[in-house]
């Protein structure tokens, strides 16, 4: 009787282990997307594990990123952020150092690029070469995550507010980086709608539409008084907040609202037809 009890016990243990193994094996299959093996989001190529790292001492001036996003190298440097006599949240003007070069989209992200990555088009103004609009800050984070899942040599992100203004000014110190009608789609010349990216004169860094067409999301939380306590090197904004920063003018903005120093705040879940974005990237 004792031997029979031992045999039954061993049998129960064996059955339990078999059940666990079957569940584990089945779980492997269930976790995989059969239409997208490896978990890479739709519209993004599988990560290339053999992508060479970029040499930080010999970076290319331009690069083609995921989804054909054209990127321009923005050199490290210093500038005066803000504007004396501007809005209260643009003051005080203060010197800021961008200590490392980074890449920034030559153009605002287009609807064709958004559709390639996300599979949808939320925009009010429809056209493949128009900037994507009506997307929230949180939507943009999903887009950026999918770019990073592609696994190329860059880490994609939104620019910080300081990086954005530094890149927008491109060495200039005035209200605008050039003649507004030549560089910018805004209220006076846009006809109440967005326009294809890259049709206006770029700034000295080769960036188009920085002051108009659509406003652009930045990574930072917004604080009215941040400039009074901002660090002098590579500021990244407050550690928390209610709103995210948006920068630049739009097709619906008057000339004063297109200045390089203008700051705006927006709920990160809100979607406006006048707001889009451009991608920044750091080397991995």
Would you say residue 22 lies in a domain? no
Q: What is the pLDDT of residue 196?
A: 98
Over range 234-246, report the average pLDDT: 97
Would you say residue 37 lies in a domain? no
Q: What is the pLDDT of residue 55?
A: 76
Over range 248-277, report the average pLDDT: 98
Over range 216-238, report the average pLDDT: 97
Q: What is the pLDDT of residue 30?
A: 33
Q: What's the total number of domains in the chain? A: 1
Read off the CATH number of the domain in which 209 is found: 3.90.1580.10
Would you say residue 99 lies in a domain? yes
Q: What is the pLDDT of residue 7?
A: 45
Residues 226, 232, 235: CA angle, nearest 5 degrees? 55
Sheet containing strand 102-105, strands side by side: 62-64, 70-74, 102-105, 280-283, 154-157
Pairing of strands 77-81, 275-276: unpaired
What is the residue whose two structure tokens read 């306590």? 229
Q: What is the pLDDT of residue 57?
A: 78
What is the residue whose two structure tokens read 């929230």? 136
Would you say residue 30 lies in a domain? no
- Alpha-carbon torsion 246, 251, 252, 254, what sign? positive
Cα separation, 277 vs 176, whole angstroms: 19
Predicted TM-score of the model (pTM): 0.82
**Structural domain boundaries enclosing 262:** 62-283
Q: What would the two tokens of residue 245 be?
A: 């920063």
């Amino acid at each position: 009787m004792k031997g029979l009890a031992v045999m039954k016990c061993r049998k129960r243990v064996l059955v339990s282990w078999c059940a666990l193994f079957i569940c584990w094996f089945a779980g492997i299959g269930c976790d995989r997307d059969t239409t997208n093996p490896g978990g890479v989001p739709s519209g993004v190529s599988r990560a290339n594990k053999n992508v060479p790292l970029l040499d930080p001492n010999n970076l290319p001036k331009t690069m083609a990123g995921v989804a054909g996003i054209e990127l321009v190298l923005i050199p490290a440097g210093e500038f005066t952020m803000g504007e004396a006599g501007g809005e209260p949240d643009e003051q005080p003007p203060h010197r800021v150092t961008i200590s490392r070069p980074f890449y920034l989209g030559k153009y605002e992200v287009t609807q064709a690029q958004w559709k390639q990555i996300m599979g949808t088009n939320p925009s009010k103004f429809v056209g493949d070469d128009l900037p994507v609009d009506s997307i929230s800050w949180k939507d943009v984070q999903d887009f950026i995550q999918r770019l990073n899942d592609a696994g190329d040599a860059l880490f994609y992100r939104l620019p910080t507010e300081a990086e954005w203004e530094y890149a927008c000014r491109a060495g200039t110190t005035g209200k605008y980086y050039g003649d507004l009608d030549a560089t910018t789609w805004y209220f006076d010349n846009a006809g109440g709608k967005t326009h294809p990216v890259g049709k206006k004169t770029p700034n000295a860094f080769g960036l188009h539409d920085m002051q108009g067409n659509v406003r652009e999301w930045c990574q930072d939380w917004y604080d009215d008084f941040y400039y009074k306590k901002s660090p002098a090197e590579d500021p990244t904004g407050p550690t928390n907040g209610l709103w995210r920063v948006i920068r630049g003018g739009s097709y619906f903005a008057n000339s004063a609202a297109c200045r390089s120093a203008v700051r705006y705040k927006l709920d990160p879940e809100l979607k406006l037809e006048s707001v889009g974005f451009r991608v920044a990237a750091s080397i991995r």
